[in-house]
Structure 1
């Protein structure tokens, strides 16, 4: 988090190292072809905002620390460090080196200050550790950190985790397991040894993602490929479920009748790649992505002949044959580009753009995943960040794909 000052509303109170409550027996995990490109990416930052709990803050901190220690015993790579061997291969050494736990205060801030603005408030950066930290730095600093920030009427629990170690799917499995163990401790089970969790991660590395290719990096790691200090506006867009379903109906060319919306089914679809839908259709998230592609392209006022790129980070676990365990721990994602001229994106209708995205997602099967891997092995490289041609955008952090 940013250093404390008289003007910044979030100040650090304490910093503690948390270690797994049981020693790891995993040893080393080699970074895969899906992990390695993420060494140039910043740490993932995710968190949850809550109203102020009924228990004292010190009691909450105690529960969080105990639960974090117990959860790390099931997710020991998160308590490890990265290291590179003499051949250039990069590993996670599960050495129980620990993670950081920060306690911070922003008691002049209210929940409304966080959620009311249309833009992400500037002080939200202070809710997370390791802001602007690149994942390669996991060689000499913790792979993860958790921060509890007190607000005037609430608390924020933020987690920063190395993107070369985990993708969003694995991260949320950790976070949900952390919450599960917090609840057990709060229910007075803390004196009992916690032997299992609902969704135990799978650390298998004998998959097609495990490659003999070596990623050669400059001394000190990959360089950031854009100006980190350039002003960046982060905007929050909220869409009602009714608006989303109207978009989906428009993209699929069907009439939406009153009562058609099944919120439970839609949520289940989001969590399971729409496997509850028996017929192929453009998903609500693809419909929304098409809307954003069109709106951003129109706003950029690009020449009609300019090629635009819309990238989607897709989950490969269920696309491989044989499939990876849904609880496979690590990155199992690939970036799918969809190309179209600015003229086509802005002049054609929503359905046309949504179909291009939908077709690309459906076509990303086992053969395509393996082809992407072979192409990367011919030219190992980190994921380039930034918008080099002024015509690209990326959609990530959705389990929908």
Structure 2
């Protein structure tokens, strides 16, 4: 049990890990890695912060474990070489001699990633799991580069790893991954490849490992639009914004495959009995998004006329024609939304809400993706965290990411947890349930009073398998 004293995470060492061999880009046309609209628009976001708890370690010394992780990371960086670089920019000078814009790229210079060894002397794996409780605040101390935004990658590493020893055995392996370099799909592709290298070689050097899924680094732009993209600003202060969230309560909720099957059946039944359009089939994840949207909106105690949105992080790789490779290493996501009034959302039921979610997703095909890209090229911009209005729910991450396949040679992780990055009131992140079978875990971030109301919401709690 966690002691009553404030838990501390002590940094024991910090070093730089560089690719184990020369950067492949050096022989493939130079080190400059151009950014797409999906990439450059992320300059204000925080680094992606996700990590895995391992409690089933073999009887090896911590030094042996750290050596395996460091050497395999060096080999992984050879394959995912942009992560060992730094952001760079060039100023565009107008005819009047003044700065008229900025162009950004990744300099694949092999400068390296941070590798940090830490110890949490009074924090156990049970404390991290905190079953049935809010996520402990100390979890954020497992993640390096806390508070950094992606623009900081000009001087900060684009990847930082922290391995934290826990009391009573076990380690927490966390990555802070610059979101300009890639999205959640890219993040978990890298994490799984790193683990694959670590378990592949008995000597754990990882040298010469051929990945089962090598990353695709060639940047993708729509026809007629070539890099680099110019952001039309005269100073970075015009588009860089740092975001500090309000005090939040964060909690994991588990939904078993049986619970999700029941939600799906209910949503489809309601949808077909309240609409003349009977050809739509609601998926379990769409039904879950509708449940969360309705439940959080009720918990916020909005008046009936208040507009509320369900925002959905949608990846574009498979929606393009021809599709991008699933191994495309970069960003390829949009945050789409459906907006209705709180009164409509409550009065019309789960199936009605799920149809709105379904409509947003099904309409996001090749033509829609290309239209959004052309609009961006016509007016380049950088997203700001303050764009997420306090009346919305944002569904991010995905239970389709292979998080529990990250086996470094110690077996399956015991849990996935997140850092403090990119969190705000109404942020909901989806993860696969550890038992598999289509189960889902949700990390929900809400204002304290809203979380308290959600925990009393009958429709929501009836579907939660455990929390």
TM-score (norm 2): 0.75
User: Quick one: distance in 2 between partners of 1:391 and 1:125?
Assistant: 26
| Structure 1 residue 14 corresponds to structure 2 residue 31 | no
Q: Select the residue among 134, 143, 148 that pairs with 1:119.
A: 134
Which position in structure 1 is the counterpart of 2:253?
A: 237
* Contact 2:43/2:240 (<8 A) preserved: no
User: Quick one: distance in 2 between partners of 1:51 and 1:383?
Assistant: 38
User: Quick one: distance in 2 between partners of 1:241 and 1:393?
Assistant: 23
| Structure 1 residue 175 corresponds to structure 2 residue 179 | no
User: Quick one: distance in 1 between partners of 2:120 and 2:226?
Assistant: 44
TM-score (norm 1): 0.87
* Contact 1:310/1:392 (<8 A) preserved: yes
Which position in structure 1 is the counterpart of 2:67?
A: 62
* Contact 1:72/1:79 (<8 A) preserved: yes
How do 1:172-321 residues align onto structure 2 when only pairs under 5 Å count? 172-185=188-201, 187-188=202-203, 190=205, 193-208=207-222, 213-216=229-232, 218-219=235-236, 222-224=239-241, 226-228=243-245, 230-253=246-269, 281-321=281-321
Residue ranges of structure 1 left out of the alignment (5+ in a row): 1-5, 255-278
Aligned-pair distance for 1:132? Answer: 1.0
User: Quick one: distance in 2 between partners of 1:219 and 1:89?
Assistant: 11
How many residue pairs were aligned? 369
| 1:174 alignment partner, SS class | helix
User: Quick one: distance in 2 between partners of 1:47 and 1:290?
Assistant: 27
How do 1:148-159 residues align onto structure 2 when only pairs under 5 Å count? 148-152=163-167, 153-159=169-175
Q: Deviations over 1:139-197 (max 9, x none)?
A: 11100001100001211000000011110001111000000011023x3363x732411
User: Quick one: distance in 2 between partners of 1:220 and 1:52?
Assistant: 47
Question: Cα RMSD over matched residues?
Answer: 2.1
| Structure 1 residue 71 corresponds to structure 2 residue 71 | no
User: Quick one: distance in 2 between partners of 1:346 and 1:137?
Assistant: 42
User: Quick one: distance in 1 between partners of 2:107 and 2:228?
Assistant: 18
Aligned-pair distance for 1:113? Answer: 0.5
| 1:23 alignment partner, SS class | coil
Q: Deviations over 1:178-226 (max 9, x none)?
A: 00011023x3363x73241110000112432865542245436844364
Distance 1:210 1:336, change over 3 A: farther
Aligned-pair distance for 1:346? Answer: 1.4
* Contact 1:48/1:158 (<8 A) preserved: yes
User: Quick one: distance in 2 between partners of 1:33 and 1:145?
Assistant: 24
| 2:317 alignment partner, SS class | coil
Q: Select the residue among 129, 133, 144 that pairs with 2:148.
A: 133
Which position in structure 2 is the counterpart of 1:44?
A: 48
Q: Select the residue among 82, 98, 113 that pairs with 1:99.
A: 113
* Contact 1:9/1:106 (<8 A) preserved: yes
Which position in structure 1 is the counterpart of 2:123?
A: 109
| Structure ranking higher in strand proportion | 2
User: Quick one: distance in 2 between partners of 1:156 and 1:107?
Assistant: 13
Aligned-pair distance for 1:336? Answer: 0.8
* Contact 1:33/1:210 (<8 A) preserved: no
User: Quick one: distance in 2 between partners of 1:159 and 1:206?
Assistant: 26
Which position in structure 1 is the counterpart of 2:34?
A: 30
* Contact 2:286/2:354 (<8 A) preserved: yes
Q: Deviations over 1:360-396 (max 9, x none)?
A: 1011000000111122223322222147642112111
| 2:336 alignment partner, SS class | strand
* Contact 2:104/2:229 (<8 A) preserved: no
Which position in structure 2 is the counterpart of 1:268?
A: none
Worse-matched range after superposition: 297-306 or 61-70: 297-306
| Structure 1 residue 394 corresponds to structure 2 residue 394 | yes
User: Quick one: distance in 2 between partners of 1:312 and 1:99?
Assistant: 31
Q: Deviations over 1:263-290 (max 9, x none)?
A: xxxxxxxxxxxxxxxx963221111110
Relative contact order, higher structure (CA 8 A, sep 6+): 2
